[in-house]
Every structure is written in structure tokens, then in C-alpha cells.
Amino acid sequence: MDKDPVLQLRIFDLNCWGIRYLSKLRQERIEMIGDVLSTEGFDLALLQEVWSEGDYSQLKQKLSSRYSSSHYFKSGVIGSGLCVFSRYPILDTFLYQYSVNGYPYMIQHGDWFCGKSVGLVVIKIREIIFNVYVTHLHAEYCRDRDAYLPHRVVQAWELAQFIQHTAKGADVVLLGGDLNMHPEDVGIRLLRGWTGLRDSFAHTEKFEGCKDGCTLVPDNCFTNKKEMRWFPQGIRIDYVLYQALSHYTITCESLVTTTGTAPGKDVPYSDHEAVMATLHVEEQGGAEKGPSCTRAEPELVDTLNEARTEVRVGLHTAERQRYSCGRMAVLALLLLLLQGAMGLSSLLGGTLQQPFPKLSFSLLGLLAVVALLASGVLCLFHTIEVRMLQGTEEQMRLALQSLQHKLSCA
């Protein structure tokens, strides 16, 4: 870095809303996204909701002359939807799938089938090692009665832990994605407090775009106006976060969001607005390379306590659901045993006769089998959920003990 001490890095982040057969004008918008990435000169593109590998292949072919490396992260039933395009060679990749991610029977939401994850790519620019993370957390479908809040808090905690434990060899950490959390939400406060990541919107020297940096706005023709009625200005749920871990400093020179329709087009790129950050990385002398430790601050203790409370709420809910499914399975099994006893008695010529016609008796048996299988599978699912939430709550308890010990010794 002797010739040019400052490295400029331009990042493009977008939730592409690329659901096959459901997203409006998907192919046209994917083409538009490819056009802007090939002409605007970004160094990194972090994309979410590219659910179709065909769309990824289309983008990869279109951008091959501009971006030498790319990677598509695969997970879940229909994929993670995450992909990264880089002007610089990708040295390594890794994917971590979150331990809890909604419910398979909530088909209308579909998050469980997506395999929500965090993807990591490692790149090297001018001898600087960058750990670049892209993620997409569980959606918030109802602000007032958010049944998925405990899952999203767990995902934020696992994301923070994943970054902390995988970034030890990096000089700079970058995180982009649709976090589905407002800036004041407990999950984003936990993520930033635990990792030390800085919000590009809060620390940028120059900002252009939607008011308050909102990335989901009512003016977008693809957004659900009913869901946005409580947020007339929109909400900010897409982020570019950053942190320097060694003898480098990093600042955000500018942050820009799109504001509706794409230039020269009648439609926007997506139902989300794109986030475009210009970062400056500069070497500073004297510091030894090594990751920064989580600082013990009273605010972080309060945030961690709040997050732990939300996890406990989710744990109690999961335990109740497990009990209900288990009880249903037992009742279905008893009904099957009773029918079996009645049928066996009839075959053996016993006095116990079935009170129903054969067709009704068979349908009742089929219903009992279906109920037994469904409730048994759901009981197993909620048992796994309970175990995951218990494990997270225990991790948070230990983290709180560590933070309180540091504060008492300070």
C-alpha cells in the first residue's frame, strides 16, 4: 500500500426478491440488476433472495468480464438465496445454516424451506484479508405479534458468534444483508454490541437516498401497502456493516440507496431498495494484528439480558407446542389401539363389536394414522427447537457471566 495508502471499496447490497413463479417481473429485474452491476463499477455485490440457480447463472454469465469470482450458497429445500460477486479472487467460502428458522407448517411464510444462513467469502486485496459475510434473517410478518422474534434473536446471536469466531485471521470484516430488524431492535443491538461492527448509515460522511436510510418504502410499487401502513416513511432492514480488526482503519465515505424505479425503467430493481456503500481502508502503524475482543459495557449487558428474555419466551412457547403435539400423538395412538382391539375381536368372533359401518371405521382409522404421523413429526420438530433454544439460552447465560465479571474487575 505504499503507492496508494487508501484502498477504496465499493459495495452493492440488495435483496433481489427473486422467488420463482411468485415475484413480479423477476426475469426483467434480474436483467436490470445485472446491467447496473456491470456498468457501475462495484467491487463487491452481496445479493439475497436469488432463489433460482438459473438466475444466478444468468448473472454470472453477464458479469463474468467485470467480476472474476462469484459464489452461490446452497442450503435448505429451495436454497439460501445468497450469492456474492467479487472483482477480486475468492480464496475460501463457508456457509452456516441457522439452527432455528420458523416452522415447516407455516407454508404461507416459507422461511423454513429457505434454509436461512450466513455465507462467508474470504478475499485478499493488496495483502489485506477481508472476511465478507452475506446473510438473510427470518422475516417479521407482524410487528405487534411477532411469533418469530425469538428465532430472529437466536439467528442474530449465532451470526454474531459466527463472525467473532471466524474473523480471527482477518484484517477487515464486512457484513451485508437483509437482517429484517429495525435499527433499534434487540437483535441488531446485540449483533453490533457483541461484534463491534459499525453501521455504515450511522457513520457515513455523506448520505443520499430514502429518508432515514429506509430500504423498504411504501412508494415502491412491489411493497405490500397494508403491511407498511404503520410505517409511512418506510423501514430500514438492509445493512452494510464493517469493522477493522488489525492495523487498519476503515471509514464510510458515502452511502447511497436507490429511490424507487431504476434509471430509464418503469420498475425498481426489487421490493427492497439497494444499499451502496463506499468504504476507505487505510493502514495505521504500530498495532499488532489480532481480533478485537468484545468490550464489557453496561449497555451490552442490558441488551444481552433482553435478548435472553426473548429466547426464554420462545423456549416456553416451544415447550407448550411440544406438549400439545405429544398429547395429540398419544390420543391418536390410543384411538388406533382401540380400533385394532375392536377389529381383532370381530375377526375372532368376540362379543366386542364395532359400532360404525366399515367405511366409517376405515376412515376413522386413516384419520388416526395421519394424526399420529403428523403430531409425532411435529413433536420431534419442536423437541429439536426446544434443544436449540435451551443451548442458546445457556450460551447467553455464560456470556452474561463473563461480561459481568469483566465489569466488576474494571
Q: Which residues are catalytic?
A: 272
In angstroms, the CA 97 to CA 100 distance is: 9
Q: Give the CA-trace dihedral at 12, 13, 14, 20, to 10 degrees.
A: 90
**Using CA atoms, how far apart are residues 272 and 214, in angstroms rounded to an integer?**
9
Q: For the chain, how many residues are written?
A: 410
The angle subtended at Cα 210 by Cα 212 and Cα 120, nearest 5°, is 80
Strand order in the sheet with 44-50: 69-72, 83-86, 44-50, 6-18, 275-283, 248-257, 207-208
Strand ranges in 56-127 using DSSP code E only, listed in sequence order: 69-72, 83-86, 90-97, 117-125
Query: Distance (Å, rounded) from C-alpha 43 to C-alpha 5?
Result: 18
Place of cell 433460482: 52
C-alpha cell at 340: 385394532
3-state SS assignment for residue 176: strand
| Farthest CA pair distance, the chain | 98
Beta bridge partners of 132: 121, 174
Residue partners of 255: CB distance under 8 A and separation at least 6: 200, 201, 204, 206, 207, 208, 209, 213, 240, 275, 276, 277, 278
**Is-contact 190 304, C-beta < 8 A?**
yes
Lookup: cell for 125: 486485496
Residue 267 · residue 261 · CB < 8 Å: yes
| Phi–psi pair at 95, nearest 5 degrees | -125, 135
- Lookup result for grid cell 480471527: 168
Assign residue 290 a region (left: φ > 0; alpha: ψ between -120 and 50; beta: otherwise): left
Compute the distance between CA of residue 229 and CA of residue 84 in angstroms, rounded to an integer. 33
According to DSSP, residue 198 is labeled E
